């Protein structure tokens, strides 16, 4: 039984994140999607909201569990018995970040390995931070997030959900 941990801020969950969780769920027996409670980012959604949106978005994946966590990712991975950490790569800058992080994490916890999934072509430009800006300015984000998430994002900005 191999468990993988997919950690992130998920503020909010996008179709790119769901794609990575779906593909990881095919490869591993169990995937624990973990919402980082205190990322060093300005958040639009609090932890409860991010957790609820992720749970709704992954409810069709029976071997995916959604939890929240704080503290060191590798320590949390060890605590839940995960052998791998899953991350998604969109670009060279994602790669550089993950590369540095992987070496730091290996130093902290040599038993936990990193598995990176290359983004699917359709989701290459989907970014949680950018789509919030787009939605705030009245742009259409419907193809970038699950429908429940689009509703939640527009409602944060006091805007109606856009058609199509
Ligand atoms: P972070 O964990 O760095 O705060 P996110 O919560 O936005 O970032 O993303 C969690 C993980 O999902 C990261 O590994 C990120 O690179 C990856 N990811 C984000 N968007 C996509 C996408 N469109 N396609 C593939 N992977 C993605």
Q: Is 12 in the pocket of ligand 1 (CB under 6 A)?
A: no
| 65-113 pLDDT tens trace | 999 999 999 999 999 999 999 999 999 899 999 999 999 999 999 999 9
Is residue 80 in a domain? Answer: yes
Pocket test for ligand 1, best of 13, 53, 88 (most atoms within 8 A of CB): 88
CATH (domain of 103): 3.40.50.620
Per the CB < 8 A criterion, the answer to whether 51 and 35 are in contact is: yes
φ, ψ of residue 108 in degrees (nearest 5): -75, -35
| Integer angstrom CA distances of residue 164 from 121, 133, 139, 161 | 21, 19, 12, 9
pLDDT (mean) for 116-143: 96
Is residue 108 in a domain? Answer: yes
- Determine the distance separating the centroid of ligand 1 and the alpha carbon of 88, expressed in angstroms: 5
Global pTM reads: 0.96
What is the extent of the structural domain holding 58? 3-121
Per the CB < 8 A criterion, the answer to whether 4 and 32 are in contact is: yes
Answer positive or negative: Cα dihedral of 42, 45, 50, 56: negative
| 36-57 pLDDT tens trace | 998 788 899 999 999 999 999 9
Is residue 93 in a domain? Answer: yes
As for how many domains the chain has, the answer is 1
Is residue 87 in a domain? Answer: yes
- Determine the distance separating the centroid of ligand 1 and the alpha carbon of 10, expressed in angstroms: 7
Cα-to-chain-centroid distance, residue 27 = 17
In percent, how much of the chain has pLDDT > 90? 93
Is residue 129 in a domain? Answer: no
CA angle, 97 as apex, 45 and 58 as ends, to 5°? 40
Q: Is 18 in the pocket of ligand 1 (CB under 6 A)?
A: no
Q: Please give the Cα distance from 103 to 59 (Å, whole number).
A: 33
Q: Is 76 in the pocket of ligand 1 (CB under 6 A)?
A: no
Is residue 151 in a domain? Answer: no
Is residue 86 in a domain? Answer: yes
pLDDT (mean) for 4-32: 98
Is residue 156 in a domain? Answer: no
Strand order in 3-8's β-sheet?
64-69, 30-36, 3-8, 84-89, 113-118
């Amino acid at each position: 039984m191999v468990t993988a941990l997919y950690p992130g801020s998920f503020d909010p969950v996008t179709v790119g994140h769901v794609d990575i969780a779906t593909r990881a769920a095919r490869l591993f027996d169990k995937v624990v999607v973990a919402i980082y409670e205190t990322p060093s980012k300005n958040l639009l959604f609090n932890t409860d909201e991010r957790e609820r949106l992720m749970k709704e978005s992954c409810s069709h994946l029976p071997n995916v569990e959604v939890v929240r966590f704080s503290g060191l990712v590798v320590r949390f991975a060890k605590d839940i018995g995960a052998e791998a950490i899953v991350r998604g790569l969109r670009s060279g800058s994602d790669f550089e970040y993950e590369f540095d992080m992987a070496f730091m994490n290996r130093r902290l916890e040599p038993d936990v390995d990193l598995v990176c999934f290359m983004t699917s072509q359709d989701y290459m430009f989907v970014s949680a931070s950018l789509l919030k800006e787009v939605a705030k300015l009245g742009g259409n984000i419907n193809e970038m997030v699950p429908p429940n998430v689009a509703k939640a994002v527009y409602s944060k900005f006091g805007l109606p959900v856009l058609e199509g």
